[in-house]
Structure 1
Amino acid sequence: MPAHYFKYATLGLALLGTTTGAVASDADDFPSKPIQFLVAAGAGGGTDNFARVVRPMFEEAIGGARITVVNLPAASGALAHQRTANGEPDGHTLDFASTTLVTSLAAGQNPVGLDQLTPVARMQSDVMALFVNPERFEDFDAFKTYAEENPGKVTVGGTHTASPDHMAFLSLVDASGLDMNFIPYDSTGNATANVLGGNIDATTTSLSPLLSYIDAGQMAPILVFSDERLEDYPDVPTTVDNGWELTDGNDRAIFVHADTPALIVARLEDAFKTVFDSEDYQAYAERVNLDYRDGWMGGDEYRQRLESNYELYTRLLEND
């Protein structure tokens, strides 16, 4: 074998060792400056509350870095995704996003693809459900019978088009074959008010925002998007009970620039897992009823889930 081969091979190994050492050094020194939590939602919502509750826990887990929270709700959070994808790939800019990241991508509303962001971890998965006024429908069988007898006349509300609420509706229609229409509202509160007022027949949304209505007997979940029945609602059937593999919830997760070194991503994931396992975080999750199912999912596994959901949501929107 020519001598110059060994020369360049040796040089290549030396450069590889230098590069690997530099990345390892960067990871060892991380964080080296203040960290930004970019929240792809407005102040006071579920994603914002999640980021602000996690901040002091994460500061401790990561070693005392100073963290600021910045809300960027414009364009369904797309501005937060753009700023993360266009920033430095050094792990100091974290994108806190909900399922709206992938639903808006499927709808063509979000210019930042999954090739531009790397998921660090999912920490929450709020269970979706179909809700009705219990004075109108006793259970899902009654609702389903009514929908079958009145094709095209049943209306289901939720937050804006291409939201997790809308995707839950489209998934249900796709699986069940029921002929129903979706009415978008600017908030969960408005959709709920229209169910209570009899203007629409039902709403698809996550459980946690409607717990006070459920406790007051004004609204009732009649179908939950879950593989198992929930302990608090043992009589409410699941989508899987009906033979429909619809279990996606409204997730909340953390993303970084796609070119962030793997060792730094791993450091971030470990820190968030420490937060997730802490007594303080679990007490918070229980307090806001985000403990119906395990919210944790590591970055690699969550990427697979996102890619699968992107394909599903794209097909559902194209057929809508």
Structure 2
Amino acid sequence: MFTKLLLTKNTLKMATISVTLVSFATAVNADDAADYPTKPIQFLVAAGAGGGTDNFARVVRPMFEEALGGARITVVNLPSASGALAHQRTANGAPDGHTLDFASTTLVTSLAAGQNPIGLDQLTPVARMQSDVMALFVNPNRYPDFESFMEYAQANPGKVTVGGTHTASPDHVAFLSLRDASGLDMSFIPYDSTGNATANVLGNNIDATTTSLSPLLSYIEAGQMMPILVFSDERLADYPDVPTTVEYEWDLTDGNDRAIFVHADTPAPILQRIEAAFKEVYDSEEYQTYAERVNLTYRDGWMDSGEYRQRLENNYELYSRLLSNEQ
């Protein structure tokens, strides 16, 4: 699990001292929250420039500055090691709420794969703001619908290839979930970007790609790519003819989440102030207009800190099983 509860003789000896400090610490923390922020804030983006997580951070930056009454914020992209550098820098920094880690579901998938040493014992989620719907995409000239794709896969076991971004990414986990539920004999081909995976679908080098909707909107509008299966409870209004995983009785509805994290020891009053500011951003007309424009309103994106922590822990168990079966 992410968190470990360790009870030793030393912690028992310190218990009485800790209790006597609670009221004093709470008062100090409350003062800190009232003054927050006291210096410039950094948004560390655990992804490269131009992707969904980067766009998310840059879109909310001016809104978050306004919600905090004029804070100064810089955005820093740290895509190395599936974003682990951003997580490490947040976890090793000061627990004062001035370093915010913007991450996607890759945080938990890379942790489940053993690629990311930073978990929820070192990071605390502030909130989730986006849950981008995952889908299976194809070149419509090759597969007109999911039934034709599934029939080909069943008739040609081991020959179907599905691409996506790197191993242990949300794309990869979506593929593993689909393969596990459907029983189709398919292989995953990792690429360094969504663009490269898409290019290989268009060039008929691979059969399909699993990724989220928002990065491929321009390809869909141009008729070059088409979703043939969406990971959703209900059909999407913009794609009423595309079936869902639930219609096939596959409990696959996970999206690519985008959320904000801080140092795990950030005082609760500061954490609550940051969460409240992001909720104000999320509820704003400006943010909701943006979310609708990039198809991020199919499901409610908001989850508060506690609710999202529980989701992460549940997903960690699922992704660990899927990835261990892949090895």
Q: State the Cα distance separating 1:160 from its structure 2 match.
A: 1.0
Q: What SS does structure 1 have at the residue aligned with 2:217? A: helix
Rounded to whole Å, the distance in 1 between the matches of 2:17 and 2:55 is 51
The match for 1:37 among 43, 64, 72 is: 43
Moved more, 92-101 or 289-298: 289-298
Question: What residue in structure 1 maps to residue 125 of structure 2?
Answer: 119
Rounded to whole Å, the distance in 2 between the matches of 1:238 and 1:318 is 26
Matching of residue 270 in structure 1 with residue 276 in structure 2: yes
Deviation string, structure 1 residues 118-141 (Cα, Å, up to 9, x no partner): 000011111100011112112111
Q: State the Cα distance separating 1:11 from its structure 2 match.
A: 9.7
Q: What SS does structure 2 have at the residue aligned with 1:127? A: strand
Aligned residues: 311
Deviation string, structure 1 residues 276-318 (Cα, Å, up to 9, x no partner): 0111111111222222222111111111111111111111111
Question: What residue in structure 2 maps to residue 157 of structure 1?
Answer: 163
Question: What residue in structure 2 maps to residue 100 of structure 1?
Answer: 106
Output aligned runs, 1:56-135, within 5 Å. Answer: 56-135=62-141
The match for 2:198 among 192, 212, 219 is: 192
Deviation string, structure 1 residues 224-246 (Cα, Å, up to 9, x no partner): 01111100011111111111111
Rounded to whole Å, the distance in 2 between the matches of 1:286 and 1:258 is 32
Matching of residue 19 in structure 1 with residue 25 in structure 2: yes
What letter is aligned with 1:53?
V
Q: State the Cα distance separating 1:67 from its structure 2 match.
A: 1.1
Q: What SS does structure 2 have at the residue aligned with 1:144? A: helix
Query: Residues 236 and 18 (structure 1 numbering): CA distance in 2 closer, same or farther, change over 3 Å?
Result: same
Matching of residue 303 in structure 1 with residue 280 in structure 2: no
Whether the 8 Å contact between 2:105 and 2:170 is mirrored in structure 1 is yes
Q: What SS does structure 2 have at the residue aligned with 1:37? A: strand
Rounded to whole Å, the distance in 2 between the matches of 1:168 and 1:217 is 23
Rounded to whole Å, the distance in 1 between the matches of 2:282 and 2:141 is 39
- What CA RMSD, in Å, does the superposition of the two structures yield over aligned residues? 1.6
List gaps (5 residues or longer) in structure 2: 1-15
Q: State the Cα distance separating 1:12 from its structure 2 match.
A: 8.4
Whether the 8 Å contact between 2:52 and 2:215 is mirrored in structure 1 is no
What letter is aligned with 2:184?
L
Rounded to whole Å, the distance in 2 between the matches of 1:310 and 1:24 is 33
Identity of aligned residues (%): 82
Q: Which runs of 4+ in 1 moved over 3 A?
A: 10-16
What letter is aligned with 1:248?
D
What letter is aligned with 1:140?
F
* TM-score (normalised: structure 2): 0.92
Deviation string, structure 1 residues 95-132 (Cα, Å, up to 9, x no partner): 01111111111111111112110000011111100011
Query: Residues 16 and 166 (structure 1 numbering): CA distance in 2 closer, same or farther, change over 3 Å?
Result: closer
Rounded to whole Å, the distance in 1 between the matches of 2:151 and 2:122 is 45
Rounded to whole Å, the distance in 1 between the matches of 2:317 and 2:185 is 23
Q: Larger Rg: 1 or 2?
A: 1
